[in-house]
Structures are given as structure tokens and as C-alpha cells.
Amino acid sequence: MVAHEADDLYRVAGRILDIDGVEQTTTSLVMRKLVDFRLAPLLEKLAEE
């Protein structure tokens, strides 16, 4: 998932933990673009669909 800020990321992770059967989640926070050259074409393709 992509979040605009850390608080949003943690809020969504908490909602995932509220799902029956989910016992734990792992959260990673990336502060820069690591794979922009791969991500942009995927997002463009999704936008076309």
C-alpha cells in the first residue's frame, strides 16, 4: 500500500490487524523512490484499465 504520511500507514495497519484471523503485520517505511522506473509504467497501465 502507499500512504501519504506515517500516521496513515499505521492507521491502515491497525485496521488490517482488526480483521479476524490476522495476528500480526509488518510495516516498512521507505522515505524515497527506490524503483520509480518500474513503478511508473505499472501505475500508468492500471490507470488505463
Answer yes or no: is 18 within a domain.
yes
DSSP structure string for 28-49: ----S-SSHHHHHHHHHHHHH-
Total number of domains in the chain: 1
pLDDT one-digit tens code per residue, 25-48: 887 777 776 666 677 788 888 898
Q: Which residue has the cell 490476522?
A: 22
Say if 27 falls within a structural domain.
yes
**Domain residues for 23?**
6-48
Distance CA 40, CA 34 (A): 12
Question: Rounded mean pLDDT of the chain?
Answer: 82
Kindly state whether residue 10 falls inside one of the protein's structural domains.
yes
In a domain, 1, yes or no: no
pLDDT for res 36: 66
Is the Cβ–Cβ distance between 40 and 49 less than 8 Å?
no
Q: Please, which pLDDT band fits residue 18 given cuts at 50, 70 and 90?
A: very high
> Does 20 score more than 90 pLDDT?
yes
Task: Please indicate, yes or no, if residue 15 is contained in any of the structural domains.
Answer: yes
Q: Is 21 exposed, middle or buried (0-12, 13-18, 19+ CB in 10 A)?
A: exposed
Cα radius of gyration (the chain): 14
Does pLDDT of 6 surpass 70?
yes
Would you state the pLDDT for residue 23?
92
Domain assignment of residue 14, yes or no = yes
